[in-house]
Structure formats: structure tokens, C-alpha cells
Amino acid sequence: MFDIGFSEIVLIMVIALIVVGPERLPRLARSTGLWIGKIRGFVASVKAEIDHELAAEELRKTLTRQAEMPELEEIIEEASTIQPTGKKAAESPKQKEVEQAAGSAETVSRDVMDDNKQ
């Protein structure tokens, strides 16, 4: 935080000894240490609060993004229509397109593998 070396601390202590005097210096050092501890505690609590708010905001954004995904809702609805035997009660046109695309991709990957083997 502060770039204070040993020589600067010694200089501050000598000046404090001259200004305050040797009788009141221990009390001054103790009260200064207490104040520094309180300030550090306050800064740590503010930092933790800010981190907590940032995490909460990130969670809100993620939940909002997930709520805006209509495809996810469609998948959930389709999953609820699957019968215990594994067959669907009613197939949607979108599901047929997905299955056709998957079949096409599988065929292409097999063709590429066969070409690589040769």
C-alpha cells in the first residue's frame, strides 16, 4: 500500500519522540496501533461487502441469461413428454431437424475417418 522503508519509520519515530516526549510516546504508539487496526478492519469489511455484491450481480446476470433461453424451456418440455419406454409421445419438427442433422454429421465423420484410413 504505502512504500515506506525502515529508514522512514525510524525518522518518524525520532520526530515523534522529540515532539511528544518519552513519557507519552508508548500511549501514542498504542492508540495509533489501535486506530490502524480499526481502519484495516473497516477496509476489509468494505472489501468483503463489495465482493459479495459483485458475486450477487454476476449471479443475477446469469439467471437472467438462463431465463431468456427459450430453447432450454423447449428441451425441458420435450423431456417431460418422453414415455418410460424411451419413445416420445409426440415428436416436434425441431427434434426431427436435430436428429437429421446428427445423422448427417455422423455420416460425414465416418466418411472423413474412412478417407484418413486410406
Q: Is the pLDDT of residue 99 over 60?
A: yes
11 band by pLDDT with thresholds 50, 70 and 90: very high
For residues 64-83, average pLDDT: 74
For residues 53-82, average pLDDT: 81
Q: Calculate the average pLDDT of the chain.
A: 78
For residues 70-76, average pLDDT: 71
For residues 96-116, average pLDDT: 61
CB 115 within 8 A of CB 109: no
- Across 42-51, 95-104, 106-115, least confident range: 106-115
Angle at 18 between CA 17 and CA 23, to 5 degrees: 50
CB 28 within 8 A of CB 20: yes
Q: Is the pLDDT of residue 81 over 70?
A: yes
Predicted confidence at residue 111, as pLDDT, reads 58
If DSSP states are collapsed to H, E and C, what string results for 61-106?
A: HHHHHHHCCHHHHHHHHHHHCECCCCCECCCCHHHHHHHHHHHHHH
Q: How far apart are CA 103 and CA 96, in angstroms?
A: 11
Q: Is the pLDDT of residue 41 over 80?
A: yes
Q: Which residues pair with 82 in a beta bridge?
A: 88
Region of 92 please: left (phi>0), alpha (psi -120 to 50) or beta.
beta
Of 29, 24, 23, nearest to 9 by C-alpha is 29
For residues 16-34, average pLDDT: 90
